[in-house]
Chain A
Amino acid sequence: MLLKGGAMQKSVLVLIVFIFTSTASIAGEVRFIANQSVPEFVISKEDVSEIFLGIRVQWSDKTKIKFVLNGDETSHNALMKKYIKKSPSQFKYYWRNMLYTGKGAVPKTFDSVDDLIKYVQSTEGAISYIDSTVKADNVKMISVK
């Protein structure tokens, strides 16, 4: 059945709205957790971006930064939007490019926030991010100025 002009325009409009909104998600607040060995207490927004893009590789005491990603979509989107300034897909491209040019390994993503916290607790130099409502013990809370 053919749609009349008006109905067709509405359908196209609905389709466009659907496509544009399908990538949108509600961004929550995140806070940064690090292993107790990490010397920093406060880092800048630029530091966050450089750490998660693999540009900054060492803490101030020259130990290696080991960052991991949170598989929770809301937390990850919040990190991208507020600090990295890339969409999740652009971030994925970035790390795939690093991988296939030999410049870095794709950072590990933890689907379970408990596993993520355990990794940060037990790994020297580790840093990650969690939803601000999630409780985490035996880790260092890093403030972002």
Chain B
Amino acid sequence: MKKKIFLIITIVLINSPMNALAEEDEVDIHGFISQGYLWSDRYNFYNAETEDGTFQFNDLGVNFTTQLSDNLRAGMQLYARDLGDVGNDEINVDWAYGDYRFSNLIGVRVGRIKRSYGLFNQIRDVDLGRTVIFLPEGMYFETLRDQFLSVKGAGIYGTLPCRVEYQILYGETPASNSSGAASFLETIGVHLIDVSTEPTYTFHMLWRPMNSLSAGGSTFNFKSTVETSLGAIEFNGENYQVFLQYFYDNLMVATEYQWGDAALLFPATPALKRVAKPVGYSGMVTYRFADWFEGGLTYSEYYIDKNDKDGKKALANAEVKDKKERWLKDLSFSTRFDINDFWILKLEAHRTDGLFSVVDYGGRKKPGAISHLVAVKMSYVF
């Protein structure tokens, strides 16, 4: 029923113009619908049957915002996605908050707020705002994106006189049984019963020394307890990122680096404790060749543990079935066609080394490291 209501709202509002100034007391309504296709030459990626080719790759969002006064703004976005076993078109509140801007220096947001980390986390769901279909996996792990997307709590933000933008958030990360983490656990035979999270912090700073250059850093921590069919699992850690972005005419260059600590604790069997120091980095270059066409090249690497990049230790400790599960090196070529202001077509090809993002490698005893994935996505925005 909820899906039908959502669909009706979307259809009714689909002709709402993109170019609309939200005057006070008026509700500004926008949204997007996308359908994609994924195919890989070996292995299943993103909890989806990509090896057979799958259309279980779509999303839909509708947002409502209003300017209640000069300084007060409120809004929400409903969002549903399907990526293989993740999401299953379940409608969620993507973000919903009140935003009071006291001055250029400081504003306050309360509600469910998008978490700023790295250059692109805030726009993970905003496919139309970028060239690539998948953000670099070395920085933004697609399957677990709902774990890091937003925070339910409060935060402050603003711009300091030295051209530094900042955001500080404190709150819980909502989680559900249709999340990427749940799907991941299911694939290894563990059924998720419940997830509880503790409040965490996020700091994000972006410095714009000149209009074409941005540099920044961010950090956040995470603390959650997952009740599973095999008992409780605690998942704790913290993550740091630094990043740089440069624009020159139609060229955009971005690079990011992340590192941190992560621990999996099993209160019933402490000996199973796993700790790691993940590290990842990425580089992205995009160029708009024409009003209707843009291309991009992205490379990223990710290692679950910087002290065990080749996975030998993990294999010796029986933490993995294959040492290639411990890394990911992804090279992708993206194209974007803006058919008009409302329709966007994207085509993307990936060459992946490593099995980190492969949930299921089909019982192969000696899986190869290299695989290829093709993604196609058509979006309508309004």
Tell me the A residues contacting B by CB distance below 8 Å: 19-20, 22-23, 45-46, 49-50, 55-58, 62-64, 68, 83-87, 89-90, 93-94, 96-97, 99-103, 105-109
A-B contact count (CB 8 A): 111
A89–B294 CB distance below 8 A: yes
Cβ distance B298 to chain A, nearest Cβ, rounded Å: 16
Contacting A85 at CB < 8 Å: which of B70, B210, B338? Answer: B210
Render B120-132 as a binary contact track against A, CB cut-off 8 A, 1 for contact. Answer: 0011011011100
Q: Which residues of A contact B290 (CB under 8 A)?
A: 19, 22-23
A101–B123 CB distance below 8 A: yes
A85-B211, A87-B250 known; A101 vs B122 contact (CB < 8 Å): yes
* Interface status of B97 (Cβ within 8 A of chain A): yes
Cβ distance B166 to chain A, nearest Cβ, rounded Å: 12
A58-B103, A96-B126 known; A102 vs B70 contact (CB < 8 Å): no
B250–A89 CB distance below 8 A: yes
Render B278-290 as a binary contact track against A, CB cut-off 8 A, 1 for contact. Answer: 0000000000111
* Interface status of B196 (Cβ within 8 A of chain A): no
Residue in chain A with minimal CB distance to B129: A97
A56-B159, A85-B212, A102-B77 known; A109 vs B19 contact (CB < 8 Å): yes
B288–A87 CB distance below 8 A: yes
Q: Which of B238-269 contact A (CB under 8 A)?
A: 247, 249-250, 252
The B interface, classified by DSSP as helix, strand, loop or mixed, is strand
Cβ distance B355 to chain A, nearest Cβ, rounded Å: 32
- Output the residue of A45, A85, A101, A107 with the most chain B CB within 10 A: A101
* Interface status of B163 (Cβ within 8 A of chain A): yes
Residue in chain A with minimal CB distance to B249: A87
B289–A64 CB distance below 8 A: no
Q: Which residues of B contact A97 (CB under 8 A)?
A: 122-123, 126, 129
A58–B252 CB distance below 8 A: no
B211–A49 CB distance below 8 A: yes
Q: Which residues of B contact A93 (CB under 8 A)?
A: 128-130
Give me 12 other A-B pairs in contact (C-beta within 8 A), A89-B288, A89-B291, A102-B97 excluded: A23-B250, A56-B159, A58-B101, A86-B211, A87-B250, A90-B288, A93-B129, A99-B63, A100-B129, A102-B95, A102-B99, A105-B21
Contacting B159 at CB < 8 Å: which of A55, A63, A108? Answer: A55
State A99–B94 Cα separation when bound (angstroms): 13
A56-B104, A58-B104, A89-B291 known; A101 vs B95 contact (CB < 8 Å): yes
Render B183-224 as a binary contact track against A, CB cut-off 8 A, 1 for contact. Answer: 000000000000000000000000000111000000000000
* Interface status of B40 (Cβ within 8 A of chain A): no
Q: Which residues of A contact B71 (CB under 8 A)?
A: 64
Q: Which residues of A contact B293 (CB under 8 A)?
A: 19
Cβ distance A103 to chain B, nearest Cβ, rounded Å: 8
A56-B104, A58-B104, A83-B211 known; A96 vs B128 contact (CB < 8 Å): yes
Q: Which 8 A-B pairs have the closest CB atoms?
A: A108-B21, A85-B211, A97-B129, A64-B70, A105-B22, A100-B126, A85-B212, A49-B211
A68–B21 CB distance below 8 A: yes
State A118–B82 Cα separation when bound (angstroms): 47
B125–A100 CB distance below 8 A: yes
* Interface status of B75 (Cβ within 8 A of chain A): yes
